[in-house]
Structure 1
Amino acid sequence: MKKSLYLLLLLLIPLACVENTNKTDEKTEIANRAWWKEGVIYQIYPRSFKDSDGDGVGDLRGVIDKLDYIESLGVKMVWMNPFFESPMVDNGYDVSDYRAILPAFGSMEDFDELLAGLHQRGIKFVLDVVVNHSSDQHEWFKQSRSSRDNPYRDYYHWWPAEKGDPPYRYSLFDAEGNAWKYDSITDAYYLHYFAAEQPDLNWENPKVREEVYDIMKFWADKGVDGFRLDAFQFVSKDTTFPAWPKGYEKDFIKYVGMGPHLHSYLQEMNREVFSKYDVFSVSEGAGSTFEDAHLLVDADRNELDMAYHFETVDLVNSLEGYKLKELKEVFSRWDSAFAEKGWISIFLSNHDVSRIVSRFGNDTPEYRSPSAKLLTTFLLSMRGTPYTYYGDELGMTNIDFQSIEQYQDIAAINGYQKALSEGADMELHMQALNFLSRDNGRTPMQWDSTEHAGFSTATPWLPVNENYTEINVAAQDSDPNSVLNHFRAMTALRNNNQVLIYGDYEMLAPEHEQIYAYTRTLGEDQMLVLLNFSESTARMVLADGWRSAREVINNYTTLENDGTTVSLKPWQAVIMQP
């Protein structure tokens, strides 16, 4: 989008959304400020964002072509899923060369241009680092499996067959659920917590850690601004591999996450990499307790900067959906735990879950737009660093796959085979897969109403959602009431008001069955957030101090407010200021 058009659109958004309404910025000293706390992160799945060369696969040049669009969103950071050399068994999370770009994505020159273009626009870049495991096509693993006395043997976890069957370990992506894979070359088993093509690296070996730090320095020297560590809570293992007790599956993370040396590894990584550059760090997963999370991210620990836990997205892991009471409780509990120390991520979507509006909102034609706007209002008004996933700024929805042959995700394909072998109710399994599959969140970005949604001139690697003619950037770009422009209004409001970043959070009316209400307070500055998470009108009595408050955000054009009681329409989201 042209910058002139963007500026014109801002004129259509209420002025309070773009001006600094903060009363206390100059008067209130904010402790421990950091750039990575203050910006919104935009996650790009490169395979699905924009195809520049007509092969049906998104690439780096496609992202370069859309840099002005990304800038128009008001985001300050971009996290991109892996684009390294890879056999693409798990869409790039099986890396065969950490210093090379997969040709399908482009070249290192393309990456350098992309990074420079982001920096010119004041946007930071976050690199996805996949080092719990590598690809089985990585040279390290090829060497490791070649003989028991190879120098790279201890780069991975091996169990000699003469010792008998290795103690059972669960694999997230294996069709049989077994994380040990027999390899006849050396008559031994290797460990893989994910797919068999993703053998786990042996972090007990200091040479492995040195290799990883050198890789991270390579990218930091190029100018990347942050690192997201994939599946990192799994890297430390008890290499005696003790037997797990019965019932382990009820608390799987307790047995595979937060291993005995994880903190020493992170402190070493901090000394070797993070402390030497102006970068921020976040790891996928935060353990299973608040204590775990604080040990990972509290500043005096010298480990990571930001906690990224899964309790919020895990609220919807079945066809039953979620209850608003649960959503309130989880978000409020995490905010309270990090109110004084540490920092958290705020998100409800990413590449590992289905679309946010289909899971947490209502994706019917009547309510898709207001509920998508409400979810944006919610995420960008909470304390913590908000993450938004490409397409969520449009209200993109789940796709409707009916047969297993339509799925591309290895987790879906192998999970189907596992369910089949265990005699599961396959009709119910397919219903759950249709709703929860990761492929829902990986369909191509919907740019316009032309063939393939303007994503590519060729047939895309994953089908475009059929609703692309209605839900696309071109249709929403110039519409001041669109989901897209509501997202821009929210980023503008957040970027210009420190209260939405650092302000205290207090939940109101915790027992209200429809409305999630809370205040954000920083010094003299305060905002009230009212969110109706339902398909019917909801009412709430305003406290005295809010009865003459003005609206600064509203996802509808009107608000029913008689000075005492506010009536919110279905999925209405309002932010008010005294």
Structure 2
Amino acid sequence: MKSYVFFFVIFSYAIINSQASSLRLFRERRADDPNETQKEFWKRGILMDIYPRSFYDSDGDGIGDIKGITEKSDYFVDLGVEMIWLNPVLKSPMKDFGYDISDFRAIDPIFGTMEDYENMLKEMHSKNIKVIFDFVPNHTSDQHEWFIKSVQNDPKYKDYYVWKDPKGYNSTGAPIPPNNWVSIFRFSAWEWSEERKQFYLHKFLIEQPDLNYRNPEVVKEMNDVIRFWLDKGVDGFRVDAIQNLVEDVSFADEPAAANSGITDPTLEGYYNHIYTLNQPETIVVVRGWHEILESYKDRFMTLEIYDEDVKVIMKFYGNETNPVSDFPFNFFFINKLSGRSDVTGTRLKSIVDLWLDNMPKGKWPNWVLGNHDRNRVSSRFGTDLIDALNMLVLLLPGTGVSYYGEEIGMVDAVISFEDTQDPAGINLGPDHYTETSRDPERTPMQWDDTENAGFSTASKTWIPVNENYRTLNVKAQNEASQSHIKVYKDLAKLRLKKTFQFGTIEFAVATDEVLAFVRSYEGSPTYLVVINTSAEDTTVDVQNGDVKLPDSATVVIRSSTGYQRGN
């Protein structure tokens, strides 16, 4: 394999003189903070997405749990991760693995107890690790007490969900759905209730009925849920599927999407979702949640939003006088890079510019490579690029977001249809399940080379462990002289320096093969990041770019293959 030149150099002097435009610079410095430390924890640390079912199994039942996460608290400390975001652990029938919640105030027994949660929070906080909870407001489980009573037309709960009469009846007397809206998981988004004689809306599974946020009582209920967990001590929320929260009152048919290439009208991608996504009322509801968080000390909220239009996403920041969230997740490294061939220096720069140039004044950026819903970074872009891409997201200005396993370069597993758990894959059947199943990126964490990768002592885990675990695991990489995890740890330490916490960014070089940028901050060392995105060794003259650079410098961090540090 060719060696790649992904490394950092530290200049022999502190400041770079440049006149780059403000759109190409980013600086966050608090005039009221003489010690120059980030007061907001979510600006300082790395946020790691933890899929609880797959992180660590403490009781040998084959499923990861809260005690398992607690037992691994020292791992986060050693890694340099200061925030963990837990995918749902609340009570659920698990039709969508926790995203169908039947009680917003209870821990599901699969993951443990409320006492386990409280112990985890205490342990994490004792080690200065913040805990972020998944908040799933768009829908509940069909087994939630609210929905059961809504089906029964209980006066209090009858309008807690989105109910509509049929458009009519077909020749056999079967009710016709109110419109052509489809579920994210395929087929109609409407399900008939024989008991109530109406359809209810479900943008996800049939077992996930949508809440009605035009009902003030629903807004109040969810406000109370947020307060419940804040009072319990949770440090913030990642809010799920926020674009879906409110629907247009016309309930009109949605038009087909132009040039989608999808010909099957039962699939979500066939339509342009002008009536079911990003309704203006959604912003109002989310702003109310942010106001609740502001009434507590040092709390945080981020939003899940997938949209091609950067202007739509930026609305979910709000502005300095009317904030909506601390930041919406930046998924452009996911959405706009379809594979290895897309990863070029010019492409990466354009994505960074797109976010920074459109971000509202005074707001904070973030960078995401992968998560529990997307194929793993190493599988999308190549195992040789994992160090380079980790360097990119962890040392750009803003908050770096990682998905567990990215620190060791985990790849997607091959999961048979018989072992498939994800309804998104099961709904497409054995011939097409791999097109949408999220199971390959959700396999158990690979801790060592023992049975089940050290994840569980069970005879069978909830989903198979990736077969490569005997060579790709945390223990092996910690013991190796060079490895992905060692690069990650060095990055986590480096990003805490003032230059990366507060400094400017300037691009020195951006070609199809190379991206190079400089981070600098007055009175602190200046760093150059050079990333080779090509599949070959590349020579680049970084002094021939737009930024003045010295004649020599020292390698501080490099990829796990490449030039030695200290050269």
TM-score (norm 1): 0.83
2:335 to 305, 314, 327: 314
The Cα shift of 1:502 comes to 3.2
- Name the residue aligned to 2:503: 503
1:396-423 deviation per Cα after TM superposition (whole angstroms, max 9, x unaligned): 111123x422321111111x24xx8xxx
- Name the residue aligned to 1:146: 152
- Name the residue aligned to 1:239: 249
- Return the letter of the residue paired with 1:539: T
CA distance in 2, matches of 1:129, 1:449: 35
2:88 to 82, 92, 103: 82
CA distance in 2, matches of 1:404, 1:187: 36
- Name the residue aligned to 2:67: 61
- Name the residue aligned to 1:262: 282
CA distance in 2, matches of 1:155, 1:321: 47
Q: Secondary structure at the match of 2:285?
A: helix
- Return the letter of the residue paired with 1:481: Q
Quick one: structure 1 residues 556 and 46, their matched pair in 2 at CA, closer, same or farther if it must change by over 3 Å? closer
Q: Secondary structure at the match of 1:331?
A: helix
Deviates more, 1:42-51 or 1:291-300: 291-300
The Cα shift of 1:69 comes to 1.0
Q: Secondary structure at the match of 1:380?
A: helix
CA distance in 2, matches of 1:104, 1:515: 47
Higher relative contact order (CA 8 A, sep 6+): 2
Quick one: structure 1 residues 383 and 256, their matched pair in 2 at CA, closer, same or farther if it must change by over 3 Å? farther
Quick one: structure 1 residues 172 and 15, their matched pair in 2 at CA, closer, same or farther if it must change by over 3 Å? closer
Quick one: structure 1 residues 323 and 15, their matched pair in 2 at CA, closer, same or farther if it must change by over 3 Å? closer
Query: Within the alignment, does 1:172 sit opposite 2:184 as a pair?
Result: yes
- Return the letter of the residue paired with 1:65: E
CA distance in 2, matches of 1:272, 1:535: 49
Q: Secondary structure at the match of 1:547?
A: coil
Alpha carbons 1:299, 1:305 under 8 Å: kept: no
- Name the residue aligned to 1:5: none
Greater fraction helix: 1
Q: Secondary structure at the match of 1:78?
A: strand
Quick one: structure 1 residues 77 and 556, their matched pair in 2 at CA, closer, same or farther if it must change by over 3 Å? closer
What is the 5 A alignment of 1:517-532?
Answer: 517-523=516-522, 525=524, 526-532=526-532
Alpha carbons 2:503, 2:521 under 8 Å: kept: yes
Q: Secondary structure at the match of 1:51?
A: coil
1:354-402 deviation per Cα after TM superposition (whole angstroms, max 9, x unaligned): 1111112x23xxx4xxx2222211111112211111111111111123x
Q: Percent identity?
A: 36
- Return the letter of the residue paired with 1:322: D
CA distance in 1, matches of 2:306, 2:296: 24
CA distance in 2, matches of 1:205, 1:476: 53
- Name the residue aligned to 1:550: 554
1:283-330 deviation per Cα after TM superposition (whole angstroms, max 9, x unaligned): 10165533333332133223211121333212355x786342433322
The Cα shift of 1:22 comes to 8.0
Q: Secondary structure at the match of 2:116?
A: helix
CA distance in 1, matches of 2:562, 2:85: 36
1:263-295 deviation per Cα after TM superposition (whole angstroms, max 9, x unaligned): 221222233343334211111016553333333
- Name the residue aligned to 1:378: 392
CA distance in 1, matches of 2:304, 2:8: 37
Q: Secondary structure at the match of 1:98?
A: strand
- Return the letter of the residue paired with 1:353: R
The Cα shift of 1:23 comes to 8.1
CA distance in 1, matches of 2:413, 2:14: 41
The Cα shift of 1:343 comes to 1.9
Q: Secondary structure at the match of 1:82?
A: coil
CA distance in 1, matches of 2:165, 2:464: 44
Mark the runs of 5 or more structure 1 residues left unpaired by the alignment: 1-13, 421-425, 561-573
- Return the letter of the residue paired with 2:516: A
Alpha carbons 1:282, 1:305 under 8 Å: kept: yes
Query: Within the alignment, does 1:397 sit opposite 2:449 as a pair?
Result: no
CA distance in 1, matches of 2:562, 2:238: 41
Alpha carbons 1:335, 1:505 under 8 Å: kept: no
- Name the residue aligned to 1:182: 192
CA distance in 2, matches of 1:110, 1:262: 34
What is the 5 A alignment of 1:239-388?
Answer: 239-247=249-257, 249=269, 252=272, 254-285=274-305, 288-297=308-317, 298-316=319-337, 322-324=342-344, 325-338=346-359, 340-360=361-381, 362-363=382-383, 367=384, 371-388=385-402
Query: Within the alignment, does 1:513 sit opposite 2:493 as a pair?
Result: no
Alpha carbons 2:62, 2:457 under 8 Å: kept: yes
The Cα shift of 1:498 comes to 2.5
- Name the residue aligned to 2:206: 196
Question: May I ask how many residue pairs the two structures share in their alignment?
Answer: 518
Q: Secondary structure at the match of 1:330?
A: helix
The Cα shift of 1:477 comes to 1.9
What is the 5 A alignment of 1:370-449?
Answer: 371-401=385-415, 403-414=416-427, 416-417=428-429, 426=431, 429=432, 433=435, 437-449=437-449
CA distance in 2, matches of 1:556, 1:449: 21
The Cα shift of 1:468 comes to 0.4
Q: Secondary structure at the match of 2:199?
A: strand
